[in-house]
């Protein structure tokens, strides 16, 4: 009876099937005397961990026909639904972009499960359990809801899952299956980041054949690029048996098939929301032109020295630094208003974003605390965000928290642009391309100048035209005398 009382008093969450089995069998075999009244007294407590009181009562019955042996099956593992947790910023759904596991794969804690794309950024989901993948709830490009299961994981218990069981759950591939899928699945065993896996998938490279130089044998970006470059060189060294066939470019037909319906997802979905919100805010545009000749000369002088630090120096860091210095004197442009437009929130941090054209659509990552960064620090962070945007590995923190934005449409083409506010920000700028145009110099003679047009859009509810004009004049002064940007 002491054994039964100890079992009852124990924490129910820590009582295993094995302990209950031994306790009930000892009652049943009369190894510890226990009256029927005693059974009825403690039965409700004991039965919280079994199916029914009736089943337990039958264990102690003296009737040989109603008495049944109590036993526990050999428990291998529990099925645990792995839910998609809240990733912040009010995101309620994501698009599954890539699976790093398949049914039957063993995973450990912090192993990559999949990569999802929200309307703000890409996020890699990692496992919280050790176990075996038993079910995938979504296919690639499906929409997953926050709070609902992504996968089912058989969490390993005292007995490990036998290799035969795993083999039964692992899908087999016939000779006629897609070879790209086989390469992808064999690459899952190698340690690599999602960006490296994407490069491997695009070039049909088996990551297990690439020697990793990172910690623990992790395949780094440099490893996969060197491997691809080596294969390309070897292929080029083999002479072609036939001359190349030159084909005429394909001209798309105006009636080549049925219309397609494509759902709006990812960054495009974000653009729908922000542009719809901007349409409800009255804003105006102010434009001017700058002589960027001195900036071109300064960048040309700095570029060799900066490249020694493995930093690519573009014009963007100069523009961002100039905006930050001007915002210091005109803080109303680095602010936001509440939803009722009754309060202005002045931002202490200059988190300046720049629009980026990516394969997934328009995205605006921002550099945090530009007011505290040197020009080279801004250049380094700009390079990081551009690379992350190209590979689709921008983090949520990279695209949230912006206070001012800049669009550099001139890098693609175009002289003028009317920028649209990125709500809740109250101002935004747009830069055109640099043109070589005739202008009157200081001596009065016509000279060749490098001219760039800039446009500013501002929320006219809280900002007037004169403020934007003065802000633009200060920005122009800094760009046309760029040495000030290096000093600060």
Residue 316 has pLDDT above 70, yes or no: yes
Tell me the C-alpha distance between 154 and 161, whole Å. Answer: 9
Residues 6+ apart with CB under 8 A from 482: 294, 295, 298, 318, 322
Amino acid 254: pLDDT: 52
How many CA atoms does the CB half-sphere of 374 hold within 13 Å? 5
- C-alpha distances in Å from residue 215, one per residue of 61, 212, 221, 432: 63, 8, 13, 44
Question: pLDDT of 204-258, one tens digit each?
Answer: 788 778 888 776 677 877 788 888 877 654 444 444 444 455 555 555 555 567 8
Residues pairing with 288 in the sheet: 454
Side-chain half-sphere CA neighbours of 171 within 13 A: 14
Q: What is the mean pLDDT of residues 129-146?
A: 88
H helix and E strand count, the chain: 14, 19
More confidently predicted of 160 and 130: 130
Burial group, residue 250, by CB count within 10 angstroms (0-12, 13-18, 19+): exposed
**Residue 48: predicted pLDDT:** 47
Average the pLDDT over 403-416 and give the result. Answer: 89
b/e per residue 289-312 (b: at least 16 CB within 10 A): bbbbbebeebbeebeeebeeeebe
d(CA 476, CA 290): 6
Residue 215, pLDDT score: 63
Q: What is the pLDDT of residue 176?
A: 38
**CA atoms of 133 and 150, how far apart (whole Å):** 11
Neighbouring CB atoms inside 10 A of 55's CB total 13
| Entry pTM | 0.56
* 123, 356, 358, 404 from 364: Cα distances, Å: 16, 6, 10, 10
424 preceded by a cis bond (ω within 30 of 0)? yes
What pLDDT band is residue 47 in, cutting at 50, 70 and 90?
Answer: very low
Q: For residues 187 and 112, what is the distance between their CA atoms, to the nearest angstrom?
A: 13
pLDDT tier at 276, thresholds 50, 70, 90? confident
* pLDDT score of 10: 44
Is residue 398 flagged as an active site residue? no
Count CA atoms closer than 13 A to 456's CA, side-chain side. Answer: 25
The residue with greater pLDDT, 372 or 278, is 372
The tokens of 22 are what? 């031994």
Strand partners, 284: 458
Please give the residue that has the higher pLDDT: either 360 or 164: 360
Report the pLDDT averaged over residues 128-134: 88
Assess contact for 357 and 364: CB atoms under 8 A.
Answer: no
Indicate whether 443 pLDDT > 60: yes
Closest CA to 395 of 88, 34, 54, 5: 88
Active site residue: 111, 369, 460, 488, which one?
A: 460
What the block records as the tokens of 350 is 């200059």
Distance CA 226, CA 223 (A): 5
Query: Of 375, 226, 221, which Cα lies nearest the Cα of 311?
Result: 375
pLDDT at 300 over 90: yes
Rounded average pLDDT over 253-272 = 76
For residue 53, the model assigns a pLDDT of 44
C-alpha pair distances (Å), 72 with each of 43, 66, 157, 305:
18, 19, 15, 73
Residue of higher predicted confidence among 328 and 224: 328
Q: What is the mean pLDDT of residues 134-148?
A: 88
Give the pLDDT band (50/70/90) at residue 194.
low
Average pLDDT in the 282-310 region?
94
- DSSP sequence for 255-294: TSS--------HHHHHHHHHHHHHTTS-EEEEEEEEE-HH
pLDDT of residue 119: 66
Q: Among this protein's residues, is 460 annotated catalytic? A: yes
Q: Is the pLDDT of residue 22 over 80?
A: no
pLDDT at 202 over 80: no
Work out the pLDDT band at 442, boundaries 50, 70, 90. Answer: confident
Mean predicted lDDT score pLDDT of the chain: 77
In sequence order, the 6+-apart residues with CB closer than 8 A to the CB of 36 are: 60
For 113-140, the DSSP string reads EEEEE-SS-EEEEE-SS-EEEEEE---T
The enclosing H or E element of 345 equals strand 344-346
Residues 6+ apart with CB under 8 A from 194: 98, 100, 112, 115, 122, 124, 393
Q: Which residue has the higher pLDDT, 458 or 227?
A: 458
Instruction: Give the best-scoring range by mean pLDDT among 24-33, 53-62, 214-223.
Output: 214-223
Bridge partners of 78, per DSSP, are 155
Is 429 exposed, middle or buried, given 0-12, 13-18 or 19+ CB atoms closer than 10 A? buried
Percent of the chain scored above 90 by pLDDT? 36
């Amino acid at each position: 009876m002491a054994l039964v009382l100890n079992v009852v008093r124990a924490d129910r969450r820590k009582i295993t099937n094995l302990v209950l089995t031994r306790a009930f069998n000892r009652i049943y075999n009369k190894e510890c005397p226990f009256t029927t009244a005693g059974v009825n007294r403690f039965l409700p407590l004991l039965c919280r961990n079994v199916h029914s009181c009736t089943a337990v009562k039958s264990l102690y019955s003296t009737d040989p026909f109603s008495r049944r042996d109590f036993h526990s099956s050999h428990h291998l593992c529990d099925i645990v639904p792995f839910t998609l947790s809240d990733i912040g910023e009010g995101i309620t759904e994501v698009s599954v972009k890539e699976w790093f596991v398949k049914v039957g794969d063993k995973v450990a804690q912090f192993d990559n499960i999949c990569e999802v794309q929200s309307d703000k950024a890409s996020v890699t989901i990692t496992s919280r359990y050790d176990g075996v993948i038993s079910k995938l709830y979504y296919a690639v490009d499906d929409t997953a809801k926050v709070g609902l299961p992504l996968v089912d994981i058989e969490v390993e218990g005292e007995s490990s899952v036998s290799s035969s069981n795993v083999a039964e759950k692992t899908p087999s591939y016939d000779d006629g299956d897609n070879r790209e899928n086989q390469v992808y699945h064999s690459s899952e065993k190698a340690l690599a980041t999602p960006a490296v896996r994407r490069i491997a998938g695009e070039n049909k490279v088996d990551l297990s054949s690439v020697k990793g130089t990172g910690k623990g044998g992790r395949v780094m970006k440099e490893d996969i690029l060197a491997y691809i470059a080596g294969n390309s060189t070897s292929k080029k060294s083999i002479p072609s048996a036939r001359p190349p066939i030159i084909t005429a470019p394909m001209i798309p037909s105006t009636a080549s098939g049925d219309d397609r319906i494509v759902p709006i997802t990812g960054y495009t979905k974000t653009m729908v929301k922000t542009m719809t919100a901007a349409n409800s805010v009255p804003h105006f545009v102010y434009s001017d032109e700058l002589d960027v000749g001195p900036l071109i000369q300064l960048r040309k002088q700095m570029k060799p020295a900066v490249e020694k630090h493995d930093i690519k120096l573009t014009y963007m860091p100069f523009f961002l630094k100039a905006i930050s210095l001007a915002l210091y004197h005109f803080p109303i442009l680095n602010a936001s208003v509440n939803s009722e437009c009754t309060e202005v929130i002045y931002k202490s941090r200059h988190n300046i974003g720049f629009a980026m054209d990516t394969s997934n659509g328009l995205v605006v990552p921002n550099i945090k605390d530009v007011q505290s960064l040197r020009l080279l620090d801004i250049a380094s962070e700009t390079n990081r965000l551009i690379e992350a945007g190209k590979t689709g590995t921008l983090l949520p923190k990279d695209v949230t928290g912006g206070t001012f934005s800049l669009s550099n449409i001139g890098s693609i083409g175009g002289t003028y642009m009317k920028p649209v506010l990125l709500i809740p920000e109250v101002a935004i700028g747009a830069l055109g391309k640099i043109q070589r145009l005739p202008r009157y110099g200081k001596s009065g003679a016509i000279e060749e100048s490098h001219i760039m047009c800039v446009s500013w859009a501002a929320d006219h509810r809280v900002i007037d035209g004169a403020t934007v004009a003065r802000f633009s004049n200060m920005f122009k002064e800094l760009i046309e005398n760029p040495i000030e940007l290096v000093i600060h």
